[in-house]
Amino acid sequence: MDKGYIHIYTGNGKGKTTAAFGLAVRALLSGKSVFIGQFVKDMKYNETKLDEHFENIIIKQLGNGCFIDRVPDNEDIVSAKEGLKECGSILTSGDYDLVILDEITIALYFKLFNTNDVINILKNKSYKTEVVLTGRYSPTELINMADLVTEMVEIKHYYSQGVLSRDGFDH
């Protein structure tokens, strides 16, 4: 049985979620099963439509959404912790070949749960399950635990020129 590795896609550059979803497509096209849990996201982005095109994928938005314009409250913390617990069960089950925990490091940054909680679910994952964690501000403890770490670095972005999110390219 092949070992499932732990990937982290982090950094301030664009493309972390996109890279994770690209890996999901690759896995799906090879007949593998995929679970994607999205923390601190509540919009239905174009990539969340993958489940309309593939049978072996579940995409679930966990928690109560984004914190761009508000401070997380107790309800956000409870909801995120429930989502993390569900992801822990999914990782332990071995039912999925690939599990993506999208924006999980942002949930850590906002203190919705702590790094040790994430480390514990990763330590208990099924041997064969491949895991991807995405988001800015990945803690050193997770980076040290991971088998593959990619940092997306923003060199230049059209957003700074006033170009907003574009359908099909940015969401």
CATH number of the domain within which 115 lies: 3.40.50.300
Please tell me which residue, 41 or 139, carries the higher pLDDT value.
139
Model pTM? 0.91
| Eight-state DSSP code of residue 2 | P
Given a cut of 90, whether residue 73 has pLDDT beyond it is no
Residue 129 falls inside a structural domain:
yes
Residue 12 falls inside a structural domain:
yes
Residue 1 falls inside a structural domain:
no
Residue 168 falls inside a structural domain:
no
Span of 50-64, 136-150, 157-171 with lowest mean pLDDT: 157-171
Q: What Rg, from alpha-carbon coordinates, does the chain have? A: 15
Domain limits for position 118: 6-161
Question: pLDDT (tens digit, 9 = 90+) per residue, 16-28?
Answer: 999 999 999 999 9
Residue 171 falls inside a structural domain:
no
Task: Provide the number of structural domains found in the chain.
Answer: 1
Order of strands, edge to edge, in the sheet holding 148-151?
A: 57-62, 34-39, 98-102, 130-134, 6-10, 148-151
Question: pLDDT (tens digit, 9 = 90+) per residue, 78-97?
Answer: 999 999 999 999 999 999 99
Given a cut of 70, whether residue 42 has pLDDT beyond it is no
Burial class of residue 156 (count of CB atoms within 10 Å of its CB; 0-12, 13-18, 19+): exposed
* Predicted local confidence at residue 68, as pLDDT: 66
Contact by Cβ (8 Å): 143, 8: yes
